[in-house]
Structure 1
Amino acid sequence: MANVSSQDLGNEPIGKLLIRQAVPASIGILVMSLNILVDTIFVGNWIGSTAIAAINVVLPVSFFIAALGMAIGIGGSSMISRALGANNTIKALKTFGNQLTLTLLFTVTFAVFGLYFVDTLIPAFGGKGNIFEPAKVYYEIILYGVPILGFVMMGNNVIRAEGKPKFAMYAMLIPSVGNLVLDYIFINVLGYGMAGAAWATTGSYVVAFLFIFWYFLSDNSELKINFSHFKLQKAIVSEIASLGFVTLARQAVVSVTFLLVNNALFNFGGETSVTAYAIVGRMMMFVLFPVFGITQGFIPIAGFNYGAEKYERVKESIYTAIKYATILGTIVFIGLMFFPEIITKWFTSDPDVIRITPNNMRWAFAAVPILALQLIGAAYFQAVGKALPALLLTLTRQAIFFIPLMYILPVYFGELGIWIAFPISDVLSTLVTGYFLKREINKTLVDKI
């Protein structure tokens, strides 16, 4: 597969270009998600089902801190794509330098904060009873590597903004494969248990960081910065913050959602229900990889062409991305509706978990075929630098609809109410996003063509 340069983003046919951008992104997400999936299977079979719940408790904290790097990466990458499209190389370089400085400052600060309040945060995120001790072991080790993960997430998005999807894919493949190898060594061979699982994950972050560091020093990258670019500039930081806040808010809501759902399910069904949610959450990361891949491939195409004022190509990229992602989402939906029992048994042999998880999984994924419109629509506004609508549409799915529904519906349906809140919130957020995206296309893109 030929690599794509930044200028090709404005010239190649949209369908061909989207495939070139999305396939490496999808492969990278697939392997990363497969890594999380297999890691969970290893932990469940080699340590126990309680260990799965323990890792799920830690995820909100580590995800949030890693999301700082992702937010800075995506916010700055939108700027870099548009700057490259407008042939403004100086702005692209200054943006990248500011991204590096911001990532260092924020990820280290929050990692220190997270370690200091470890005994408060773990119970708050559902780490109670037998879950607390293994969660604490995993949490403390993971947080040592989270700042490194922040740089990895930031750098990966910048690589994609340069139009280098293959290298972005490699940056996701290398740590994923490394983590599985280290899992086997630390857990199965050396018998380090939860500590082994945590050190395997942290070690994989280091490997990914070294690869990305090499990439930006090599001739593959167009962004050759010097020390002057590291100096924070108010205008650049402000734009990175406004666009990156969309991603940060989304990840923060994911963390809050984990917290709330873990606690709500613990109150209904104890550790068994929390474990079921952990399995469903892993599958959500894994099976939606092609939809997320198309979304990631779409962002630099839309951003570059918007910066180059090629609005017909922007419009075409929106419709093409939604079409491809909807087809793939429907295929995922069919598989999950028919085989949830088999999937559950990959993770655990616990009969109680196997009994309750399949139907819950069906409910959680019931609206997957229409989810593409919501994801692409919110991503479009972020790609073209429109932070406020991107933020609002990003928050509709979980913050505006899901969280209220997960409190209201259990009053009438018990634990089932938490699970049916997933598809209802997906449908409502898709309708809202579809309305605003259609209005944007008619009033902004069509008028400028």
Structure 2
Amino acid sequence: MESKKTVNFEPIDKQFTKYVVPSVIAMSVQAFYTVLNGIIAGQGNGEIALGAINIVLPFYMVIIALAMLVGIGGANIYSFHKGKGEMEATNNIFCQCLALSAIIGVTLALVGFFSRENLVLFLGANEEMFPAAVAYLKWLAPCSLLQMVVFVLIVFVRNDDAPKLVMVASAFGAVVNIILDIILIFVMHFGIEVIALTNGISMLTTGAFFIPHFADQKGLLRICKPIFHFNDIKRVLSNGVASFLMEFWQSAIALSFNLALVHTVGTLGVSAYSIVTYVCALINMILIGVTQGAQPLMSFYHGKGDAKAFSHVYRLGVRTNTMIPILLVAGCAAFGSKIVLLFHSGNLELTVLTVQMFRLFPLGFIFVGPVLMNILFFQATERNTYATLISFLRCIGFVQVFLLLFIHLFGANGIYLSFLAGEMCHFILSQILVQKTMKKLEKKVGEMKADIPEAP
């Protein structure tokens, strides 16, 4: 009887570690300084400042979502061409994406700056939070251009075989951000608007690290005048829609929960949710770090036509993104009361409310990790309809339905449990579609093998 041939996946495991570990560290550092921004805002400017930042959060997430639309969408196509050895096409994809990100960044900066008061009202600010939220958005909006361009550079430089450079650049930018926040708020006693300004300086610092990569031609990418092709842009945007929605998900969830909490619990509820959001952003960024680390490998092996290597990277990502949230969610439940005290002191009612939220809301992230990897699976195989469907439902779908239902059934606790119920539904649906896609891919591979004539 013929023995089954075993495949040595050790080199792929090492590649996975090479890309995922720096990506997770870079994302963790960014999330960590976001959490520190919240701590600094809460301790230095009070609970209303925390609520104001959370009110503006959806606009900030839209910036990141659009950056992911262009960056991740372009990087998937870039690595696909790279796997096929089509180097001229890969660089032009990068240049088109960089130019597109700059155009979108300028547009966002103008709209956010000149419409800041109307935007803040639309995002649900009440009279208490309105002045602080407007002041914060006034400085956040002009930084949109930097956010867009630097994020696209981060994604493409990582795909250009430089994940460690991205990690170092992100970490250094975060350190600059934290130092400036501490000086400007605790020492010089500025308001929360400087948090937006220092974030822009942080992005500028991170972007400066990439100059030698391009100037010394250390990778394959070159910054040059793009040759725009409608089909390239269409393909990038079609592939990136899921990434846009994946990030816009945070904005949609934040907006839905802010509106529910303002009307059921009040300003205190929004402040409590703001603290939980900061910590959950850390969990989410780590999961995104794993996903983005796996992305260059999955897109490359799909372009190369290596189904076994592609499948192995995907399964590694799913396992990693399942274990991480379980550990972090357990930590939230165990140390919630201590975490809350980092953001404020002296308000017992806020502490009790936030600890209660910590025990329930983060549970949904146990399903978020595998769902992110499933979306990446669809993007890498260019099943964009499936990727967009799951990502859209995560923004506007199951969570909102459960939110409306559970408020009436369970009161305030229902608000937090609706997130868990919604993400569980996304996981089940995405898993069904992954299995369906895998069967189609296996069938296609089988047909291709059948068409190859046997050697004489």
Q: Does 1:315 align with 2:311?
A: yes
Q: Does residue 444 of the first structure (1) align with residue 454 of the second (2)?
A: no
Tell me which residue corresponds to 1:141.
139
Cα separation, partners in 2 of 1:290 and 1:445, compared to 1, 3 Å: farther
2:435 counterpart of 1:431: no
SS at match of 1:130: coil
Structure 1 pair 76/445, CA: closer, same or farther in 2 (3 Å)? farther
Partner residue, 1:304: 300
2:406 counterpart of 1:409 = yes
Correspondence for 1:70 among 68, 71, 89: 68
Within 5 Å, which residues of 2 pair with 1:123-202? 123-202=121-200
Residue 253 of structure 2 corresponds to 257
1:106 corresponding residue in structure 2: 104
Range with greater deviation from structure 2 (338-347 or 286-295): 286-295
Partner of 1:82: 80
C-alpha distance in 1, partners of 2:143/2:223?
25
Is the Cα contact below 8 Å between 1:85 and 1:308 reproduced in 2?
yes
Q: Deviations over 1:248-286 (max 9, x none)?
A: 223334323322221220111111100111111111111
Partner Cα separation in structure 1 for residue 299 and residue 11 of structure 2? 16
Map 1:281-300 to 2 at 5 A.
281-300=277-296
Q: Distance in 2 between matches of 1:145 and 1:346?
A: 28
Stretch deviating more after TM superposition (17-26 or 332-341):
332-341
Distance in 1 (CA, whole Å) between partners of 2:167 and 2:442 is 31
Report deviation, 1:11: 9.0
Q: Unaligned stretches of 5+ in structure 2? A: 1-7, 447-456
Residue by residue, what CA displacement relative to the aligned partner does 1:76-119 show, whole Å, maximum 9, x if unpaired? 00011111110000110110111011111112112211222111
Q: Deviations over 1:416-441 (max 9, x none)?
A: 22111011011111111111112222
Where does residue 328 of structure 2 map in the other structure? Answer: 332
Whether the aligned pair in 1 keeps the contact of 2:332 and 2:359 (CA below 8 Å) is: yes
Aligned equivalent of 2:4? none
Shift of 1:317: 1.2
Q: Distance in 2 between matches of 1:181 and 1:427?
A: 39
Aligned to 2:356: 359
Pairwise CA distance, 1:289: 4.2
1:195 Cα shift?
A: 2.8
1:400 alignment counterpart: 397
Cross-structure match for 1:390: 387
Aligned length: 438
Q: How far apart are residue 135 of structure 1 and its match?
A: 0.9
SS at match of 1:339: helix
Which whole-Å CA distance do the structure 2 matches of 1:33 and 1:110 have between them?
23
2:271 equivalent in structure 1: 275
Amino acid at match of 1:428: C
Counterpart-to-counterpart distance in 2, 1:383 and 1:213? 29
Structure 1 segments, 4+ long, off by >4 Å, are none
CA contact (8 A) 2:249 2:394 kept: no
What is the TM-score normalised by the length of structure 1?
Answer: 0.93
Q: Is the 8 A contact 2:74 2:93 kept in 1?
A: yes
1:7 maps to which residue? none
Deviation at 1:344, TM superposition (A): 1.2
252-261 vs 293-302, greater mean Cα deviation: 252-261
**For residue 217 of structure 2, what is the aligned residue in structure 1?**
219
Please say if residues 70 and 154 of structure 1, whose CA atoms lie closer than 8 Å, have aligned partners that are also in contact.
Answer: yes
Q: Is the 8 A contact 1:37 1:286 kept in 2?
A: yes
Query: Counterparts of 1:324 and 1:249 in 2: how far apart (Å)?
Result: 22
Provide the identity percentage. Answer: 23
Tell which deviates more after alignment, 315-324 or 246-255: 246-255
Amino acid at match of 1:168: V
Map residues 231-246 of structure 1 onto 2, 5 A cutoff: 231-246=227-242
Gaps of 5+ in 1: 1-9
C-alpha distance in 2 between matches for 1:371 and 1:198: 28
Q: Distance in 1 between matches of 2:381 and 2:158?
A: 15
| Pairwise CA distance, 1:447 | 4.4
TM-score normalised to the size of structure 2? 0.92
Q: Which moved more, 1:204-213 or 1:150-159?
A: 204-213
| Higher alpha-carbon deviation: 204-213 or 51-60 | 204-213
Q: CA RMSD in A?
A: 1.8
Provide the rounded CA distance (Å) in 1 between the counterparts of 2:68 and 2:218. 22
What is the SS of the residue equivalent to 2:228? coil
Question: CA offset at residue 446 of structure 1?
Answer: 6.3
The one-letter code of the counterpart of 2:359 is R
Counterpart in 2 of 1:3?
none
Amino acid at match of 2:66: L
Q: 1:62 to 1:324 in 2, by over 3 A?
A: closer
Choose which of 371, 379, 391 in structure 2 pairs with 1:374. Answer: 371
- The CA deviation at 1:12 is 6.5
